[in-house]
Amino acid sequence: MDTEQLRALLTEVAAGRVGLDDAMARLAAGPLGDGAGFVDLGYARVDTHRGVRTGDPEVVYAAGKTAAETVGIVTALRAASDAGRPSLVTRAGRDTVDALLERWPDCTVTDRARPLATVAVGPLPPARGRVVVVCAGTSDTPVADEAALTVAASGVGVEVLRDVGVAGLHRLLAVRDVLAGADCLVVVAGMEGALPSVIGGLVGVPLVAVPTSVGYGAAFGGLAALLGMLTACAPGIAVCNIDNGFGAGLFAARVARAAGKVAHE
């Protein structure tokens, strides 16, 4: 259950369409009732109540987990969910992706050809709000795709603009209207990490920057891009950790959902 489903349940109770006993039974599966709010699998304690607390369900970080462990965690999440949102798996290796596809053939995968992928198990929810993910170069695509699928799985519309880095500034200027029309931007760049500064000076849209580990030796695995983004001349830029497309995508989705909520009030 997430916050929207909780609101809908309370509305049904207030209208007399759902009884108190029924509502209490539904809430008892989590910390608001008598339940623990998690499922103990032995190797993992799966948080099944995070959606109520934050509006976003638990996400499975697959790196370091076996394929069987990841499938087990997702199975627990799906069993405890009202299917309002898909279950998201990040940094899934090929064996894990194959295992997830075997168990849920209709799941969404960013790119099976790459060593690591992001997977959404369950149908993507209706989109509300709009996030634009901006990718400096094709080499930054895996991080941008992780951010984009995170946004979509969070119930927000998303568009990805690829290969618009500062080495060809005219490519970026050609999509300025698209950038200005977003509720939030995720800007993904490696090398010197200059793209967020440029975009932050072009539009006044909330922006979260993601440095990637793309670059030659002196880029220090993304550290140069990270420092460049942290010391950006343009104000109003938030910065995530190196290669953290998931964190940036979730941040942007929350901003877009909040913007949509204000617009409808």
pLDDT in tens, 60-73: 999 999 999 999 99
Q: Which two tokens stand for residue 77?
A: 């999440």
pLDDT tens for residues 17-60? 888 888 777 766 555 554 567 776 777 777 776 766 777 767 89
Q: Residue 110 pLDDT > 70, yes or no?
A: yes
Domains assigned to the chain: 3-121 (no CATH), 130-264 (3.40.50.1970)
Q: Residue 104 pLDDT > 90, yes or no?
A: yes
Closest CA to 187 of 219, 164, 220, 215: 164
pLDDT tens for residues 174-217? 899 999 999 999 999 999 989 999 999 999 999 999 999 999 99
Residue 131: per-residue pLDDT? 96
Q: Residue 78 pLDDT > 60, yes or no?
A: yes
202 neighbors 225 (Cβ within 8 angstroms)? no
Strand partners, 133: 160, 186
Tokens 């168990």, residue located: 103
Q: Which two tokens stand for residue 149?
A: 């699928």
* 3-class DSSP state of 214: coil
Interior angle at CA 245, CA 127 and CA 168, nearest 5 = 95
Residue 150 CA to residue 121 CA, distance in Å, equals: 12
Interior angle at CA 141, CA 139 and CA 143, nearest 5 = 110
Strand ranges (DSSP E) for 190-242?
207-211, 237-239
Residue 185 CA to residue 240 CA, distance in Å, equals: 13
Q: Tell me the C-alpha to C-alpha distance, in Å, between residue 174 and each of 141, 156, 170, 177, 202.
A: 20, 24, 6, 8, 12
Residue 81: per-residue pLDDT? 66
pTM comes to: 0.83
Q: Rounded to the nearest 10 degrees, how much is the dihedral formed by the CA atoms of 249, 219, 139, 166?
A: 80
